[in-house]
Amino acid sequence: MRKASIRTFFVSVGITLMMLVSVMPAMAQENNYISNRIGIGYQGMLAGEFLNGISARGWIGDNFGLELSGFYGSVDIDIDLEDEDVDLEDEDVDLTLGELKAMYAFIVKENSRFYVGAKGGYGQLDIGEDVDLWECGVFIGSEWNFQGIPELGFNFDVGYNYLHIDEDDYDVELDIDGIGVTFGIHYYF
């Protein structure tokens, strides 16, 4: 049932992005090559552990952007619950995370933009069974491209992340917060 909710989340965001792409040409004049375009590419996340992901990123006019990313990786975890049959000490477990970012660029140049944003996400941690986790955060970032290849965008974001894990079966509630970094490369169509 939980995997179906992740699938529904991705489909909903994909449909939203497709609708936005259809209205982009009618938006304001573009000062930056990647304005009113959608980019597909790689996104990496460093938040204690390193997660790799794929991403779709788009800019509506010069100033408003959305990004949908899907991350997957193996994370190191220590869980020892005395009252339960769970003892994961220094174990690698799989983490899957879907993330949606909303961005506002307040500095836009011909080949770069500087922006702020907020994000939210949902994922699952596999400790023998799937444990839900929720993410939210704020960030600042920049995206740039080179004049000779303007369709290739490079981005770097740094911000504050908050992860909440709530598992009723093992009576675990865990909040993780701290600074996170993402970076990526997208090809814009």
d(CA 119, CA 28): 25
Q: Say yes or no to pLDDT of 56 above 50.
A: yes
pLDDT tens-digit readout, 21-40: 555 544 444 578 889 999 99
Residue 76 is predicted with a pLDDT of: 72
Q: How far apart are CA 156 and CA 174, in angstroms?
A: 28
The pLDDT assigned to 92 comes to 74
State pLDDT tens for residues 149-182.
Answer: 999 999 999 999 888 887 666 555 566 678 889 9
Lowest mean pLDDT among 10-19, 57-66, 122-131: 10-19
Q: Which amino acid is at 124?
A: Q
Q: What was the pLDDT predicted at 28?
A: 45
The yes or no reply on domain 2-188 and CATH 3.10.290.20 is no
DSSP string of the chain, one letter each residue: -HHHHHHHHHHHHHHHHHHHHHHGGGSPPPSSTTTT-EEEEEEEEEESEEEEEEEEEEEETTTEEEEEEEEEEEEEEEEE-TTSS-EEEEEEEEEEEEEEEEEEEEEE-SSEEEEEEEEEEEEEEESSSEEEEEEEEEEEEEEEEETTEEEEEEEEEEEEEEEEEEETTTTEEEEEEEEEEEEEEEEE-
**11 phi/psi in degrees, rounded to 5:** -65, -45
pLDDT digits (tens, 9 = 90+) for 75-87: 776 665 555 555 5
Instruction: Note the pLDDT of residue 16.
Output: 62
Give the pLDDT score at 27: 46
Segment 80-106 shows an average pLDDT of 75
Lowest mean pLDDT among 9-18, 83-92, 94-103, 140-149: 83-92
Structural domain boundaries of the chain?
2-188
pLDDT at 144: 95
Show contacts of 128-135: CB within 8 Å, 24+ apart.
128/86, 129/169, 130/2, 130/3, 131/165, 131/167, 131/172, 132/2, 132/165, 132/166, 132/167, 133/97, 133/163, 133/164, 133/165, 134/163, 134/164, 135/97, 135/99, 135/161, 135/162, 135/163, 135/164
**Average pLDDT in the 44-50 region?**
79
Q: Which residue has the higher pLDDT, 180 or 18?
A: 180
The pTM score is 0.76
Q: Give the pLDDT confidence score for residue 102 in this predicted structure.
A: 97
pLDDT for 127 equals 75
